[in-house]
């Protein structure tokens, strides 16, 4: 899936709710899945699709050892410049190693670790330029599940009849129609499966 694509299809949704969709319902569900996908991204602070064309983004080091970056799914075409000077591939490592993070496999890289040298800093300038193929190699099943759950709540609530909830979780806020949510809940139940994929803020230009 390309950047911006929903994390589930109307066919996935029909199977999920065990109901055949009419043409009109399919059109509505397509929009709901797109909105639900954006809600999942807002909640997690991540984009789970991928691009196969490398592009450059800019970052700041958080310490001499580490630069947190957006998720990238391959080291093919990976390149790093610091203040305009290219670093050799042996000057840094991509983490997490072997795509394993907190015991789960299938993760992309999201940290660059300096090897035998240090990142510049502290500075307010985004001095580290990273060229990479951004995103995840495959959308995690848990992310598709969360997308379907959010879309289902909105679908069941009826067009525009649900109560719009705006919930903050750490530094993230997500808003969508959800008449089922109670007060005092730290994580919306529709987004529980996506919770392990939340990331904290980091320095990106």
Query: To which residue do tokens 């660059």 refer?
Result: 112
Look at the alpha carbons of 69, 74, 77, 79 in this order and tell me if their dihedral is positive or negative.
positive
Kindly give, in sequence order, each residue whose CB lies less than 8 Å from that of residue 51, ignoring residues fewer than 6 positions away. Answer: 2, 3, 133, 134, 135
Kindly give, in sequence order, each residue whose CB lies less than 8 Å from that of residue 143, ignoring residues fewer than 6 positions away. Answer: 7, 40, 44, 48, 193, 194, 197
pLDDT by residue for the chain (205 residues), tens only, comes to 788 899 999 999 999 999 999 999 999 999 999 999 999 999 999 999 999 999 999 999 989 999 999 999 999 999 999 999 999 999 999 999 999 998 889 999 999 999 989 998 766 677 899 999 999 999 999 999 999 999 998 888 754 333 334 434 344 344 544 433 344 445 678 899 999 999 876 544 4
Task: Specify which residues 80 forms β-bridges with.
Answer: 130
Q: What pLDDT sits at residue 196?
A: 93
If phi over 0 gives left and psi between -120 and 50 gives alpha, with beta otherwise, what is residue 18?
A: left
Phi, psi of 11 (to 5 degrees): -65, -40
Phi, psi of 166 (to 5 degrees): -125, 105
Q: What pLDDT sits at residue 190?
A: 87
What pTM, to 2 d.p., does this model score?
A: 0.81
Q: What pLDDT sits at residue 126?
A: 74
Burial label, 16 (beta-carbon count in 10 A; 0-12, 13-18, 19+): middle
Q: What pLDDT sits at residue 186?
A: 56
């Amino acid at each position: 899936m390309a950047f911006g694509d929903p994390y589930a299809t109307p066919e996935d949704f029909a199977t999920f709710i065990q109901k055949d969709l009419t043409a009109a319902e399919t059109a509505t569900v397509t929009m709901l899945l797109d909105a639900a996908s954006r809600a999942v991204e807002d909640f997690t602070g991540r984009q789970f699709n991928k691009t196969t064309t490398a592009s450059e983004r800019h970052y700041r080091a958080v310490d001499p050892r580490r630069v947190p970056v957006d998720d990238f799914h391959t080291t093919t075409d990976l390149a790093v410049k610091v203040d305009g000077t290219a670093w050799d591939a042996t000057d840094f490592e991509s983490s997490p190693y072997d795509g394993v993070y907190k015991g789960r496999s299938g993760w992309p890289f999201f940290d660059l670790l300096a090897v035998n040298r240090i990142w510049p800093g502290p500075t307010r300038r985004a001095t580290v330029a990273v060229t990479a193929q951004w995103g995840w190699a495959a959308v995690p099943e848990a992310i598709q599940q969360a997308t379907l759950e959010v879309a289902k709540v909105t679908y069941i609530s009826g067009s525009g009849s649900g109560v719009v909830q705006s919930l903050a979780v750490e530094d993230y806020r997500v808003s969508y129609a959800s008449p089922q949510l109670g007060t005092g809940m730290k994580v919306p139940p529709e987004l529980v499966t996506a919770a392990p994929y939340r990331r904290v803020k980091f320095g990106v230009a």
